[in-house]
Chain A
């Protein structure tokens, strides 16, 4: 490792060559304030446009100040991070940014979690000397995301996420000078753009410019309505992150507290999306085996690889970008929608109530789920299978709103029948989890033998693109895994070009999978939080007595009582879907 020695605020330290002043300063225990800079260490995600100029420092021999985030340390460099010149410049720059920012912190969705607000607090700004016009734009509401770009500070993090990481290209900087802002092309509505609602823009936005559509009020109203039976399902990744909103260490599993809190909130039944995840495995795993055996038997109409379909942003992505491949992904609905569908048929029948009187709420780490549950194909006579999808963050707000002291809650258990799940359902929450769960079941269904070992380390990790070959007792199955839509695009292009060697591919839109979803507590660029959440998910799996979906007793019962068998006609009707070509949906008004 080549190193360089430099001096920062009179401390001399040695760092690896190529280190930026910002990162080198951290090693010296100096926390230079920054704003637009953003990175997820080890995940190849970095945003350093050098645009906000908050992190400027004085470098001896340099005419002007240097942005610490973009300036690499050189040998013998002398840096001052707190000289009068730096402090004045930094404060003035921040005052300028604030002068073009609405002063509605009190009612802003990001209040208390806003990086701009924290910075103003840290720097002790008490007045804005440079007042003047503010740049204002049209507010834009989509099914999942609200854009209030009056609050945009042009940090470009969302643009980086949307273009570099996700290759979606819905957001980019438009206009110039004072009116420059990040927006869809031609300042169209997000709904008219190729946006997949993955919510990664929201996840990285430092201010309130990008926020989720908030459904907490709808949920409260439903809970308050005596004519409605309100049930809730919680996605696997939620339990591994919700605790962060209450000051718990990242990676703290709060499944039991979450269940209790939901019950205290007044939900009539607290169920688990993990149950539906097990159901998904039954359908998708069977579909995989079916396709695979027909393919191996020479059926030319069968296309491989099979692609997972539980991530709604991913579904949006291929509908927009690869409509020619819409027959390739599994037709299995996502766990959220399988849950809704079963709840409003099987469970409503059990309760003896009309589906219209049953309200299904989902707690999701995801913003695309808000859009997904509004899709027309997931409605019966206009009544959606899932009524409201709220994010982990919204749930935390609800709990706080209801004066529930979360941390002191006793652990509770999910209700039956839709609350029982296996370890396989839990690991849906992380990248690699769905395919591992599928392999656990498919292996046993195919080989009719018990798994020699339950965990597949080769499928785990946080690498953006991973692959592994699993030996199905002689049948070697090539598995591909991608998280982040940019990585997915690479695999998709291979599939399109007929170059893919995979039999099955798992795709998650968000980096890290659902643990890094757009609806999760904000990680503010701390990748260790994602790792902790992933670890927690696998921990939950390990803790489960049953770890294979097909062994879930309530799943077995569901098939016995209601569905018959996987891929049955009823299953097709209730648990499968079809996809649309949205490539031409982008309309310039």
Chain B
């Protein structure tokens, strides 16, 4: 029998699949077969590696070769050179932009160096559609251990001791939540997994469900054991078809093995999981809204108390945790709460997964220990700002987070520090902005999102956010007044202070944090009618330098609205009343005669 000597791990996450990683896997398989190597090397479709910037990723083990941006056409070369002859395909290796040399081993890439992968431990490592691979990675051992060695309270104590806090944004101590649910008496309880990830650009939960669905299933079963629930429900966005597919496969496999169902591990413990699809409303990430949605009611929050732990799904006590929170649980059981608590800061233990996006070189999914600084994340893991531009701000916590600036770069990231700085952990969105971003427009962008996603139940969120957005629009158009800035402040405060749920209570954060950190920029928009980033078109004016213009007519020909006139070889002019400020003239001008004011 020929030994498998090599695994080719192909990323099967949604990101890489959208750039045809499935075809890469197929081509690799074909090529291996053509060369008679299919008995020696095996292609494995895994979950996300996180380095989405450079996808599709193919990682070869055991020699740890990390290929980036692999095309199906590259498969033949990888097989012929690497699999057959042991020669790494240099052109497909990651090029470290700073050192200007290739790095083949991902462990030596700056993107991965500072990461600690706990929740993502199996993502990019195992085949998520194969339960055996999860079991080989100690999967379901934590559940077995809980059921056979610990009482529910002991498990709860372990989670409490680990210091794990809710990763969905709230940061509520997970163990405490479990304990509260466990203490409520009821004939039926529910374990709910919140997979209604809705932050723009965030895909932490999706990646976990796509890459390691069993870890969530196992943790939910453990929670069922602790709280006395026999039924689990995963509320997942219907827009996550791959995650749904993999989760369903995983549930089916777990049932076949008897890891879900009745009398699990022969202990008399019964637990099973069903999927519930959400239509992707952001507000349904709020636990009471989520529960209403699952009950077939309008997805809108209700006042707490009562909390779901007392009065949840169908009025029964329900423990709601987010995907990432669950994904941490099995490891904590196996490695112990002390190990987990040794990572992170005093009040925020363990790691956090972030979807790093925006103007950084390395966009992707990262998992970092709590306490890492924003600087490390942005400039080391993220590889710094794209195009060598100036860092301006970083937005954490999704649409309801705040924008932090250069002076916050050395703040260690944890729940409390981010809150103190005027932002929040949120579920882990992290968007980096550079000098080309207008902070008023950024605030407006986020408000646009919350206006769209507000359920409309309470007046401050329904109407207040709309008014905030209108005022921001007015400012971006150059029609704002200093009084408007005062209105923004008061309105933001009142919306935060009076809204019914977390959405409204945090939606003004982008406004408040930009007002606080970028006051000058607001004043510029209002008083000087200027947008320094050149984003607010109404505040911009293209003119032609009469001295520099040679009358080549290139700009006039490029103008889509015929706003530029002038005789050939004579200086041209722009009719401001026609100009739509598209910038085409500026791009075309070879003499730097088009000016932007």
Contact = CB atoms under 8 A, between A and B. Distances in A.
The interface centre, meaning the residue of B281, B464, B487 with most chain A CB atoms within 10 A of its CB, is: B464
A52 to B, nearest CB: 5
B456 A178 contact: yes
Given A51-B457, A173-B300, A64 B498 contact: yes
Interface string B456-469: 11111011111100
Contacts of A72: 305
B456 A176 contact: yes
Contact of B491 (A51, A64, A130, A154): A130
Contacts of A175: 456
B65 to A, nearest CB: 49
A153 B459 contact: yes
Interface string B495-510: 0111110000100000
A88 B497 CA distance: 11
The interface centre, meaning the residue of B463, B491, B498 with most chain A CB atoms within 10 A of its CB, is: B463
Given A88-B490, A130-B487, A93 B459 contact: yes
A144 B467 CA distance: 35
Contacts, number: 112
B451 interface: yes
Nearest to B306: A72
Interface stretch (A26-34, A96-104, A455-463): A96-104
A89 B497 contact: yes
Nearest to A69: B303
B463 A99 contact: yes
Given A85-B497, A132-B470, A177 B459 contact: no
A53 B456 contact: no
B302 interface: yes
Contacts of A172: 298
A179 interface: yes
Interface residues of B, number: 34
A180 interface: yes
B453 A96 contact: no
Contacts of A67: 303, 500
The interface centre, meaning the residue of A129, A132, A175, A179 with most chain B CB atoms within 10 A of its CB, is: A132
B455 A176 contact: yes
A67 B491 CA distance: 18
Contacts of A587: none
A49 interface: yes
A153 B302 CA distance: 17
Contacts of A70: 303
Interface string B291-305: 000000010101101
A513 interface: no
Interface in B285-322: 298, 300, 302-303, 305
Interface string A92-115: 110011011000000000000000
A50 B467 contact: no
Contacts of B454: 176-178, 180
A56 interface: yes
Contact of B466 (A50, A54, A153, A178): A178
Contacts of A154: 456-457, 459, 462
Interface in A540-574: none
B494 interface: yes
Contact of B458 (A50, A99, A100): A50
Contacts of A179: 456
Interface in B380-424: none
B460 A53 contact: yes
B487 A64 contact: no
Contact of A88 (B300, B303, B457, B494): B494
Nearest to A85: B497
Nearest to A132: B470
Nearest to B467: A130
Given A175-B456, A180-B456, A96 B497 contact: no
B528 interface: no
A1 interface: no
B494 A177 contact: no
Contacts of B459: 51-54, 93, 96-97, 153-154
A100 B303 CA distance: 24
B458 A96 contact: no
B452 interface: yes
Contact of A176 (B281, B305, B494): B281
A56 B303 CA distance: 13
Interface residues of A, number: 37
Nearest to B483: A129
A303 to B, nearest CB: 34
A50 B500 contact: yes
Contacts of A89: 494, 497-498
Given A173-B456, A178-B463, A92 B494 contact: yes
The interface centre, meaning the residue of A67, A99, A130 with most chain B CB atoms within 10 A of its CB, is: A130
Contact of B451 (A53, A54, A178): A178
Interface string B95-113: 0000000000000000000
A52 B464 CA distance: 12
Nearest to A100: B463
B202 to A, nearest CB: 20
A99 B465 CA distance: 12
Contact of A132 (B281, B458, B466): B466
Interface string B426-470: 000000000000000000000000011111111110111111001
A51 B500 contact: yes
B453 A177 contact: yes
A173 to B, nearest CB: 6
B466 A92 contact: no
A501 B453 CA distance: 51
Interface in A42-88: 49-54, 56, 64-65, 67, 70-72, 85, 88
A50 B499 CA distance: 9
Contacts of B490: 88, 92
A401 interface: no
Nearest to B468: A130
B560 to A, nearest CB: 30
A179 B490 CA distance: 23
Interface in A96-143: 96-97, 99-100, 129-130, 132-133
A172 B299 CA distance: 12
Contact of A177 (B302, B466, B491, B500): B466
B391 to A, nearest CB: 31
Interface string B221-264: 00000000000000000000000000000000000000000000
A248 B487 CA distance: 46
A223 B531 CA distance: 69
Given A88-B490, A96-B467, A177 B456 contact: yes
B457 A180 contact: yes
A51 B494 contact: no
A49 B463 contact: no
Nearest to A48: B303
Contact of B470 (A93, A133, A176): A133
A99 B494 contact: no
B536 to A, nearest CB: 19
Contacts of B298: 172-173
Contacts of B458: 50-53
The interface centre, meaning the residue of A53, A70, A154, A181 with most chain B CB atoms within 10 A of its CB, is: A53
Contacts of A99: 463, 467
Given A72-B305, A132-B466, A154-B457, 17 more contacts: A52-B458, A53-B458, A53-B498, A53-B499, A89-B498, A92-B490, A93-B460, A93-B464, A99-B467, A129-B487, A132-B470, A176-B456, A177-B451, A177-B455, A178-B462, A180-B454, A180-B462
29 contacts: A49-B302, A50-B302, A50-B500, A51-B500, A53-B458, A65-B497, A85-B497, A92-B464, A92-B491, A92-B494, A93-B459, A93-B460, A96-B463, A96-B467, A97-B463, A99-B463, A100-B462, A130-B467, A130-B491, A132-B466, A154-B457, A173-B457, A177-B453, A177-B465, A178-B451, A178-B466, A180-B454, A180-B455, A181-B456
Please name the 5 residue pairs, one residue from A and one from B, whose CB atoms are nearest each other, closest first: A180-B456, A177-B454, A50-B303, A96-B463, A92-B494
